[in-house]
Amino acid sequence: MIEPRATKVLVIGYVWPEPRSSAASGHVMQILEVFLEQGWDITFSSPAGFGEQRADLTALGIGEVPIELNNSSFDTFISELAPDIVLFDQFMMEEQFGWRVEKYCPDALRVLESCDLQSLRQGRHQRLKERLKASEDNNDFSGLFAPASREEFEHMANTDLAKREIASFYRCDLTLMVSEVEIELLVEQFRIPRSLLHWCPLMVDLPAGAPVEYEDRAHFLHIGNFRHAPNWDAVLWLKTAIWPLVRAQLPDAQLHIYGAYTPPKATALHNAAQGFHVLNWAEDALQVMSKTRVCLAPLRFGAGIKGKIVDAMLCGTPNVTTPVGAEAMHDQEPWPGAITRTAREFADSAVRLYQDKAQWLVAQAQARHLLSSRYPQSTHGPALIERLIECQRHLPQIRRDNFTGSMLRHHQHKSTQYMAQWIEEKNRNQAHTL
């Protein structure tokens, strides 16, 4: 009897995963772990260069194959690989390689992994810029934190990024979304069929053992990849408005800021006399977080759900954040810390959490409950596999019902194909003249 072969999965990454540098890469790694548990045969490819902190995929049994943009060598590669499922990590990879996948592996299930809704993040960033330009007040940003979904839509709808991103969602057979808030925005405002979306948040299981106790912790912490614009903005707000208010109440307080790819403009903010320490990249973020008393995440814009806050909960570290930071993360559950809208509220909440052991312990317990009720990999992993298998089983019907996606693939893929072929020919001619 011939044994059925394992499902073949090709993941096309925007970058090679760096789970210790970004939540987006961490989510990709969680998905890969779920696939590995099924015994699936996984190949990871990316046109990006190798980063210093990239995960060792080969040690996990995952094949690594670098690929090139605008190069027909990909056509030969994917034809020979013949994957059953192709997962695009971020919509830009679907734009670049989607037409090639459809042409050479038409029966492969095409899945998009969306770490956050980028056009939503861009729209919120633009609103923040307008607010900063219109007012010198660096304290109260509550007006940014309560827009209706229709208002969010109106800030996004006319942008090129939104049109590209939403079109990519339509062209795929399924899109994985980390945020239920973003799912509702897509369904209610952009009219994307709910059947094309699947809620797949960060997937973690509770760590064994008790967290570090209150008395054995010290200092405040902020952590985040500096290449991610919301993290850099959060550091600026901390420096200019929030941290001086904290130090006014706790003169000896220390804030430790960690982040991958720390630029000179960030290290220039370091000031030991003010207790404001910019410490570059953390070798082990969870270890650092476990020794910290309070995590600060003053996000004025952003999208998706926040890996730094999930990490804080895993470590039993209460956090202070904004409505943007807490968005789509707790549903109706109590927040493990504080959600604030102004610099003054943020600073006062941070100081109270730091000093009040009873409040701190309540927040820690709430974090544990929230993780177990909302983020268990043991729940979301099987749900993801079940959804992918269901989509494979009904793929002809899914594509027939998604006429908008079929129409967009017809037009966009033709234009992308011709542009890619023109660039490839241009590159070939240039190489010949050298």
Residue 2 confidence class, pLDDT cut points 50, 70, 90: very low
Range list of β-strands (E), 91-173: 109-114
Radius of gyration of the chain (CA): 23
Closest residue by Cα to residue 316 from 269, 371, 381: 371
Strands 63-66, 319-321: pairing is unpaired
* 130-164 burial: b if 16+ Cβ within 10 Å, else e: ebeeeeeeebebeebbeeeeeebbebbeeeebbeb
Contact 112, 174 (CB under 8 A): yes
State the Cα angle at 296 between 292 and 298, rounded to 5°. 170
CA atoms within 13 Å, Cβ hemisphere of 161: 12
Average pLDDT over residues 400-422: 77
Contact 202, 179 (CB under 8 A): no
State the Cα angle at 334 between 331 and 339, rounded to 5°. 90
* Percent above pLDDT 90 for the chain: 82
Q: How far apart are CA 353 and CA 399, in angstroms?
A: 51
Average pLDDT over residues 89-97: 96
> Dihedral, CA atoms, 310, 153, 409, 109, nearest 10 degrees?
30
Average pLDDT over residues 232-254: 97
The pLDDT assigned to 53 comes to 82
Q: pLDDT tens digits, residue range 294-353?
A: 999 999 999 999 999 999 999 999 999 999 999 999 999 999 999 999 999 999 999 999
Give the domain 8-121+129-203+378-433 fold.
Answer: Rossmann fold (3.40.50)
The pLDDT assigned to 421 comes to 66
Residue 1 confidence class, pLDDT cut points 50, 70, 90: very low
Hunting for tokens 């945020």 — which residue is that?
179
Range list of β-strands (E), 79-236: 85-89, 109-114, 174-177, 197-199, 220-223
Hunting for tokens 């009720």 — which residue is that?
373
The pLDDT assigned to 341 comes to 96
pLDDT at residue 29 tops 70: yes
Q: pLDDT tens digits, residue range 139-180?
A: 999 888 878 789 999 999 999 999 999 999 999 999 999 999
How far out from the chain centre does Cα 211 lie? Answer: 26
pLDDT at residue 434 tops 60: no
Pinpoint the residues of the chain covered by CATH 3.40.50.2000.
8-121+129-203+378-433, 214-375
Residue 33 confidence class, pLDDT cut points 50, 70, 90: very high
Q: What sign for the dihedral angle of Cα 418, 107, 380, 25?
A: negative
Q: How far apart are CA 424 and CA 46, in angstroms?
A: 18
Contact 412, 171 (CB under 8 A): yes
* Percent above pLDDT 70 for the chain: 94
- Which residues, in sequence order, are bridge partners of residue 87? 11, 111
Please tell me the least confidently modeled range out of 7-21, 66-80, 130-144: 130-144
Average pLDDT over residues 78-101: 96
Contact 307, 26 (CB under 8 A): yes
Average pLDDT over residues 117-131: 95
The pLDDT assigned to 284 comes to 87
Please tell me the least confidently modeled range out of 14-23, 158-167, 191-200: 14-23
Q: What is the mean pLDDT of the chain?
A: 93
Average pLDDT over residues 370-377: 95
* 249-265 burial: b if 16+ Cβ within 10 Å, else e: ebeebebbbbbbbbeee
Options 3.30.1340.10, 3.40.50.2000, 3.90.1200.10, 3.40.50.1580; which CATH number does 214-375 get?
Answer: 3.40.50.2000
